[in-house]
Amino acid sequence: MSLKVGTRGSKLALAQADTVCRKLTAMGIGVEQVVITTQGDTNNGVPLHEIGGQGVFVRALDDAILGGEIDCAVHSMKDIPAMRPSGLFTAAVLKRDPPADYIAYTSALPAVNVIGTSSTRRRAQLLRHDPDISIKDLRGNIDTRIRKLNAGEYDAIILAEAGLIRLGIRIPGERLPPDIFVPSPNQGTIAVVSRADPPLMESLSALDHPQTRTDVAIERGVMEQLGGGCFTPLGIYCRAGHLIAEVLSLDGRRTERIETDVHSIEKAREQGRILRGRAQDLINDAYAALRITP
């Protein structure tokens, strides 16, 4: 068997695809990488909520699978929207890398005043921690973000720790505790999406890590009930069945949060409905502030 494996062209996406391809090669499966350009790559100077949310990194790869151009695609699982086209299947979820955010800085942490991020979640969590901090928009790949930090445009920037690990980047800073700065759902996880073709799915399933799949499925169960995508500041993190989920106001002044043990998707959805009931006004306010129709 030989597979065409689709990926975005960023360094991080290629590193993630390389990880999957090495594993497939070790199983005796031939691979060919195919780079697909997505809308998220061509509009990297615009905040995600202005170009359609996290799905902008996925749609072109979905179309390439459904059109037969590639057999499967490698994604950061946090980029995959809750609603998926028919005919596609998440064939493998790799063992999770550290899911936490990482604050990288060029001077001592107490001297940090200006932090770069375009994530509404990270912005709200930072403002909750320190309402006096200044947050400036920051997009682009990891190299671009670090270059802007080193150029003095920011005192610090927020990155996903998993991305730094996958690229072998070491930079001064520290991990933000995920129980306080709750990560995006599925952060730190690589997924392989394929056509819903049984022989193909069976081959890719050898890459699957059952505990990670269960944890991220619980996170997605909560996310499906909350909605909001990247428009609403929300963090959802499950580790071995222990779930933390929160919704924040855009300014970080208000938070609705649940923390409990969950071991089934239905229970996860139930917790998501409970949290949405408590946080509906925060979700509505986020959409209204960003001038988006829910």
Give the active site residue among 8, 121, 128, 276.
Answer: 121
- Say whether 166 is catalytic: no
**C-beta neighbour count of 217 within 10 angstroms:** 16
- Say whether 21 is catalytic: no
Give the active site residue among 71, 79, 101, 215.
Answer: 79
- Say whether 213 is catalytic: no
Q: Decide: helix, strand or coil at residue 186.
A: coil
- Say whether 121 is catalytic: yes
Give the active site residue among 78, 123, 213, 269.
Answer: 78
Give the active site residue among 123, 128, 145, 269.
Answer: 145
Give the active site residue among 215, 230, 238, 276.
Answer: 230
- Say whether 84 is catalytic: no
- Say whether 230 is catalytic: yes
Report DSSP letters for 88-153, one per residue.
Answer: EEEEEEPPPPP--EEEEESS-GGG--EEE---HHHHHHHHHH-TT-EEE---S-HHHHHHHHHTTS
CA distance 78 to 188: 8
CA distance 62 to 293: 25
- Say whether 4 is catalytic: no
CA distance 187 to 160: 8
Give the active site residue among 139, 213, 220, 269.
Answer: 139
> Which are the catalytic amino acids?
78-79, 121-122, 139, 145, 230
